[in-house]
Structure 1
Amino acid sequence: MSGRAEVRAWRPGLTGVVEVLHAHFPSHAYPSHTHDAWTVLIVDEGAVRYDLDRHEHGLAQAQVSLLPPHVPHDGRSVLPEGFRKRVLYLAPDRLGEDLIGAAVDQPEYVDPLLRHRIHQLHRVLGDGREDLEAQSRLLLIEERLRQHLKREVTSPPDRRDAGVAARLRDLLDEHVRDGITLDDAAKVVHAHPAHLVRAFSREYGMPPHRYLTGRRVDLARRYLLDGRPAAEVAALAGFYDQSHLNRHFRKMLGVTPKSFAAPRP
Structure 2
Amino acid sequence: MDQQASIDLDSFGGGDRARFFRATRHGGLECLTASFREHRYAPHSHETFVVGVIEAGCEAYRLGGVRHYAGPGEVCFVNPGEVHDGEPADTGYAYRMTYPSEDMMRAVAAEVTGRDRVPRFRSPLAADAEAAALFSLAHRRLESGVSALGADEALVGAYAVLIARHADVGVTRTSVADAPDAVARARDYLDAHHGDDVDLDTLARVAGLSRHHLIRAFKRATGLTPHAFLTDRRVRAARRLLAGGRPPAEVAALCGFCDQSHLNRAFKARVGVAPGAFRVA
Structural mapping, 1:202-221, within 5 Å = 202-221=220-239
CA distance in 1, matches of 2:32, 2:171: 27
Q: TM-score, normalised by structure 1?
A: 0.85
State the partner residue of 2:252.
234
Q: Distance in 1 between matches of 2:274 and 2:170?
A: 46
SS of equivalent to 1:261: helix
Indicate whether 1:75 and 2:92 are aligned. Answer: no
Q: Which amino acid aligns with 1:23?
A: A
Deviations 1:166-192 (A, max 9, x none): 222122112111243221222222211
Task: Say whether residues 1:117 and 2:127 are aligned partners.
Answer: no
Partner of 2:7: none
Q: Which moved more, 1:154-163 or 1:23-32?
A: 154-163
Is 2:159 the partner of 1:142?
A: yes
Q: Is 1:95 aligned to 2:105, yes or no?
A: yes
Q: Aligned pair 1:58/2:69, yes or no?
A: yes
CA drift of 1:158 comes to 6.2
**Aligned-residue offset at 1:124:** 2.4
Once structures 1 and 2 are overlaid, which stretch shifts more, 25-34 or 52-61?
52-61
> Which residue of the other structure, out of 27, 33, 36, is the alignment partner of 1:25?
36
Contact 2:147/2:197 (8 A) holds in 1? no
1:11 and 2:28 are equivalent in the alignment: no
The number of residues matched between the two structures is 260
Q: Residue 176 in 1 paired to residue 194 in 2?
A: yes
Instruction: State the alpha-carbon separation in 1 of the partners of residues 58 and 37 from structure 2.
Output: 11
Q: CA RMSD in A?
A: 2.6
**Larger deviation: 89-98 or 143-152?**
89-98
Give CA deviations for 1:216-257 in whole Å, capped at 9, x if unaligned.
111112122222222222222122222222221222223222
Question: AA paired with 1:221?
Answer: R
Partner of 1:129: 146
Aligned to 1:11, the other structure's residue is in SS state: strand
SS in 2 for 1:124: helix
Q: CA deviation at 1:151?
A: 4.8
SS in 2 for 1:46: strand
8 Å CA contact 2:176, 2:216 repeated in 1: no
Q: Provide the C-alpha distance between the structure 2 equivalents of 1:191 and 1:45, rounded to a whole number of angstroms.
A: 37
1:158-173 mapped onto 2 (5 Å cutoff): 159-173=177-191
Provide the TM-score with structure 2 as the length reference.
0.81
Structure 2 residue runs without a partner (length 5+): 1-9, 108-116
Q: 1:151 to 1:113 in 2, by over 3 A?
A: farther
